[in-house]
Amino acid sequence: MARRLSDEDIQRFLATREVVVLSTVHTDGSPLAMPVWFVHDGEALTMISEADTQKVRNLRRDPRVCVVAESGSRADARALMIGGRAEFVPDSPARSALVRALLDKYNPNLGRRWGGNAMPADRVMFRIVPAWVRTYGM
């Protein structure tokens, strides 16, 4: 059965996760896996990062990604794997709404890191748009 990010059980599972692991591709083809904060909807995962990080440089050069979220133990392990592409989100009312969603989810930590409720100028926002979605134990 083909899975979709919008599937109810996937949306419920993501709502319980604080961090996912984002894998990008280095210039030599090797992976870089990093834990990241995120918000989700039925179409994409949205993330913010400092603009001058290796993961962002990788995404600008090659937008292909894999994202993994997991929980549980041996007896009740569950996992979600998403393969797709990163799309950078330009400044817009939609991006402002996503910033608010991230601030709400990670309150008060994100606001403290930013020194307020505005996304700092040295950050970029990107959405992970799935090409495929797979699950385990769900």
Is 43 inside a domain boundary? yes
Q: What is residue 87's predicted lDDT score, i.e. its pLDDT?
A: 98
Q: What is residue 11's predicted lDDT score, i.e. its pLDDT?
A: 97
Q: What is residue 72's predicted lDDT score, i.e. its pLDDT?
A: 85
Is 96 inside a domain boundary? yes
Mean pLDDT in residue range 70-75? 86
Phi-psi region of 131 (alpha: psi -120 to 50; beta: other; left: phi over 0): alpha
The fraction of the chain above a pLDDT of 70, given in percent, is 99
For residue 1, pLDDT over 80 is answered with no
75 confidence band (pLDDT: 50, 70, 90): confident
Mean pLDDT in residue range 64-72? 96
Is 2 inside a domain boundary? no
pLDDT digit string, tens, across residues 16-56: 999 999 999 999 999 999 999 999 999 999 999 999 999 99
Domain region containing 127: 8-136
Please tell me whether the overall predicted TM-score, pTM, comes out greater than 0.85 for this model. Answer: yes
User: What is the distance between the alpha carbons of residues 19 and 16, in angstroms, rounded to a whole number?
Assistant: 9
Is 60 inside a domain boundary? yes
Residue 31: CB atoms within 10 Å: 11
CATH number for the domain that contains residue 125: 2.30.110.10
pLDDT digit string, tens, across residues 83-114: 999 999 999 999 999 999 999 999 999 999 99
Mean pLDDT rounded to a whole number for the chain: 96
Q: What is residue 76's predicted lDDT score, i.e. its pLDDT?
A: 87
Within 44-122, strands assigned E span 45-50, 64-71, 78-88
Is 72 inside a domain boundary? yes
The total number of structural domains in the chain stands at 1
Is 1 inside a domain boundary? no
